[in-house]
């Protein structure tokens, strides 16, 4: 059986609510939580953007069993990789080695805020590869200096290190990022049930790592209401990452997505209260080869969704098998 995670949407919930939801997710039997690491929400209706790493520290302290992951952290622009290395090591210690660092090449919406130049996709991938090398170097311990193509380190040493290696999962959306993940990472993370991403990673990586994907479940009293919530909070998902990684502002996302209708999201989102509807969506990810499936539920009723997972959805999950 795949592992099932709960998405902590920093864009939709404040810091205290995120910690409370993580505790609920642990009690409900989720295998892990995955937290977004953004400076801005995508849409004004989402309304939040707390600092993910502060929330991660609180979650590590407030929970005992559940796995903890980012989804995704960009360690190349808004953060220098040495800062991410230190932050990840600290959370790994605080969580007793329950932490996984998932990284990506970033979105302009969040990374431009310090005034840095927004690089092209190939340059961002190159920067991400170098950043991963720096993370692993500092996690080895000792004093390190580095003069690379993109980054400098001047006699940096992490004095608090976890007892186990931190897995590094790489966000992917196409062949270039899959190749990077196979070379530098311990697995992949994406947002669509695309089997080519899994197959491409496995073909390049040899020993298969974890394959994460996010599935959007708009739990609500009816399918119509679920799609309305998805339209209000998650309509940017109608676009792919060639669009979403380039728009620089919340106002831009509002303008770009204003004509997205609830029905336009029906093919990507499972909506409503029916368990089998959600199982059908989850099955697409299982059949595509993903073994870590993050359930993302837009909207305010997170307690209701988590209870629905525990009482109705989770008991149904062992009854479905991947198709041949």
Question: Which positions are catalytic?
Answer: 38, 107
User: Phi, psi (5° rounding) for residue 65?
Assistant: -120, -40
- DSSP SS3 for 83: helix
DSSP 113-182: GG------HHHHHHHHHHHHHHHHHHHT-S-EEEE-SS-EEEEE--S---SSPPPEEEE-SSHHHHHHHH
Answer positive or negative: Cα dihedral of 69, 71, 77, 79. negative
Please tell me the distance from the alpha carbon of residue 226 to that of residue 266, in angstroms, as a whole number. 10
Selection from 169, 184, 72, 189 nearest residue 130 by Cα: 184
Please tell me the distance from the alpha carbon of residue 135 to that of residue 78, in angstroms, as a whole number. 16
Helix intervals (H) in the chain: 15-28, 52-62, 81-94, 108-111, 121-139, 175-184, 195-205, 223-234, 241-244, 250-256, 275-287, 302-308, 314-316
Name 194's Cβ contacts closer than 8 Å, sequence gap at least 6: 288
Q: Quote the crossing angle between the two packed helices 81-94 and 52-62, to the nearest 10°.
A: 20
């Amino acid at each position: 059986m795949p592992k099932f995670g709960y998405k902590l949407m920093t864009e939709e919930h404040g810091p205290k609510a995120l910690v409370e939801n993580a505790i609920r997710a642990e009690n409900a039997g989720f295998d892990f939580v995955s937290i977004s690491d953004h400076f801005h929400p995508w849409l004004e209706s989402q309304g939040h953007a707390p600092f993910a790493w502060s929330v991660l520290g609180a979650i590590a302290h407030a929970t005992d069993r559940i796995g903890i992951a980012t989804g995704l952290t960009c360690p190349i622009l808004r953060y220098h990789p040495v800062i991410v290395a230190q932050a990840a090591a600290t959370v790994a210690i605080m969580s007793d080695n329950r932490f996984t660092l998932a990284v990506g090449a970033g979105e302009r919406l969040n990374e431009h805020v310090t005034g840095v130049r927004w690089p092209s996709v190939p340059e961002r991938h190159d920067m991400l590869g170098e950043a991963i090398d720096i993370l692993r170097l500092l996690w080895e311990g000792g004093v390190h200096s580095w003069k690379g193509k993109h980054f400098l380190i001047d006699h940096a040493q992490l004095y608090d290190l976890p007892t186990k290696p931190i897995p590094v999962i790489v966000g992917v959306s196409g062949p270039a990022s899959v190749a990077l993940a196979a070379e530098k990472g311990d697995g992949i993370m994406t947002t669509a049930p695309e089997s080519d991403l899994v197959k491409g990673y496995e073909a390049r990586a040899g020993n298969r790592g974890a394959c994460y994907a996010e599935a959007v479940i708009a739990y609500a009293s009816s399918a119509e209401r679920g799609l309305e919530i998805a339209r209000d909070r998650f309509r940017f998902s109608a676009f792919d990452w060639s669009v979403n990684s380039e728009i620089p502002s919340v106002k831009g996302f509002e303008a770009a997505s204003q004509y997205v209708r609830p029905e336009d999201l029906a093919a990507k989102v499972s909506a409503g209260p029916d368990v089998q509807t959600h199982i059908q969506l989850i099955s697409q990810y299982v059949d595509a080869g993903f073994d870590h499936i993050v359930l993302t539920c837009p909207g305010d009723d997170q307690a209701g969704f988590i209870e629905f997972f525990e009482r109705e959805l989770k008991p149904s999950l062992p009854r479905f098998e991947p198709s041949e």
